[in-house]
Amino acid sequence: MDFEAWWLILIPILFGLGWIAAKVDVRQLVSESRNLPDSYFRGLNFLLNEDHDKAIDAFIEVAKLDSETTELHFALGSLFRRRGEIERAIRVHQSLLSRSDLPRADREHALHEIAQDYFKAGMFDRAENAFKEVQNTSYGVSATRALIRIYEAEHDWEKAIAVAARLRELTDEPLPQQVHYHCERAQSALTAKEPDFARVDAELNAAEREAAQSTGPAASQASYARIAMLRAYLARRLGDGKTERQWLLSALERAPEFAGLVARQIMDNFEATGETEQAVNLLRDHYFAHPSLDVFEVVFAALREQGFAPAWQFAQESLRQHPSLLGFDKVLNSELTHEQGSGEQGELQQRMPDLDLGLLRAMIDKHTRRLDKYACRVCGFQAQTYYWQCPGCNSWESYSPRRPEE
């Protein structure tokens, strides 16, 4: 290969230029680090050691020496908010917003930060206004999500529906909570002093349209179950038992995991027409296909009204297939309730006279009380009542219709 002589000149020149550039960068870095106060490095060291109190004091000292350090102000505000010192966080961000020379990007950042401060302080009206100001910026998605949280907390479902529609445009992601916004509006109209049945029907129609756009079997089951339950409740309020039964049975078929939420209503509906036996057979078959303690409890109580033998035969078969301490506790509770209601000694007590059912149930109940709760799949928050929205983390459709033991 031919070797050009001019390479002998070019290589030393390139090497020299690189050496000069490196020297300049190092000198600039050293110069900038010397200009930084010692408090800045002490603050960083405290942060790394998770000593937030001393880190804040050090950064405040730096901020006093150089008021132009916007990034430091943002760091301070974030630290204050994380520690729950919301007033100090607000003051830091307000001081930034009061500067007339603040660049547009930093102003938007400061608005987004102070909106979060207001939100955490519970000042939803101020937070709403601040988040609206940054909705058309790079913080648009985050601000829109926050607005949804605000409207959910205020139960302003109309605004929540509108903002959720905007979020869908921005992210193109499924939002199962839109179904529940309409269901919440329908439920409010149903339970009002003067129910507006036409509005209830309209809201449930809207909920069905939203549910049709949802994806995922779990989401569709939860959405359909709630819509069907509200449809059944509406029919009952209108005195239409036939339509009520149709909706309850459709929930049983299309959302089998949620059978426990409608089992009691199904039994009541069939009992009203003297068809208790049909309801018992229906729910018993469903229980063995989709075990649920709520369904088990309803079936056992109905069978116990027919007699001791069929009820305990069902209980033994069920608990043998699906052992459950909580299920046994519910059996004992039902037996004690039946005994108190009849005013006579129960058959179990007659067969085992030395057995103190009350004491046995009290001992078991002490251990099962913590099991008799529904749990959020996202944050683990537990409650004895089933929620469509978790009170702990505000997630929708995150509660399993079954208890953790199941």
SS3 sequence, 331-360? HHHHHHHHHHHHCCCCHHHHHCCCCCHHHH
Residue 41 has a pLDDT of 46
Residue 30 pLDDT greater than 60, yes or no? no
Gap between the Cα atoms of 261 and 402, Å rounded: 10
Looking at 3.40.50.10380, 1.25.40.10, 3.10.20.90, 3.30.365.10, the CATH number of the domain 67-173 comes to 1.25.40.10
pLDDT band at 27 (very low <50, low <70, confident <90, very high): very low
Nearest to 90 by CA among 53, 64, 127: 127
pLDDT class of 150 with cuts at 50, 70, 90: very high
Catalogue the E-assigned strands of 237-335: none
- State residue 144's pLDDT score: 95
Q: What is the pLDDT of residues 187-214, one digit of tens each?
A: 999 988 899 999 999 999 999 998 887 6
Residues 130-142 have pLDDT tens digits of: 999 999 999 999 9
Q: Quick check: 346 pLDDT over 60?
A: no
Flag whether pLDDT at 354 surpasses 50. Answer: no
Q: Is the pLDDT of residue 33 over 90?
A: no
- Checking if the pLDDT of 99 tops 90, the result is no
CA-to-CA dists, residue 309 to 35, 72, 301, angstroms = 88, 75, 12
pLDDT at position 4: 57
Given a cut of 70, whether residue 216 has pLDDT beyond it is no
pLDDT of res. 34: 43
The distance in angstroms from the start CA to the end CA of the chain is 78
Max Cα separation, the chain?
116
| Per-domain boundaries in the chain | 67-173, 174-187+195-211+219-261, 275-372, 373-406
Q: So what's the pLDDT on residue 79?
A: 78
pLDDT band at 406 (very low <50, low <70, confident <90, very high): confident
Q: Which one, of 227, 224, 131, lies nearest residue 183 by Cα?
A: 227
pLDDT band per the 50, 70, 90 thresholds, residue 148: very high
d(CA 94, CA 87): 10
Which residues does the annotation place in the binding site?
Answer: 376, 379, 390, 393
The per-residue pLDDT for range 357-371, each reduced to its tens digit, is 565 566 566 666 677
Q: Between residues 266 and 78, which one has the greater pLDDT?
A: 266
pTM of the predicted protein model = 0.76
| Dihedral-angle region of residue 38 (phi above 0 means left; psi in -120 to 50 means alpha; beta otherwise) | alpha
Stretch 98-111: mean pLDDT: 88
DSSP code at position 396? B
Whether the per-residue pLDDT at 397 is higher than 60: the answer is: yes
pLDDT-derived band at 23 (thresholds 50, 70, 90) equals very low
Interval 326-348 mean pLDDT: 62
What is the mean predicted confidence (pLDDT) over 256-272? 95
Residues annotated within the binding site for Fe cation are 376, 379, 390, 393
Answer yes or no: is pLDDT of 285 > 70. yes
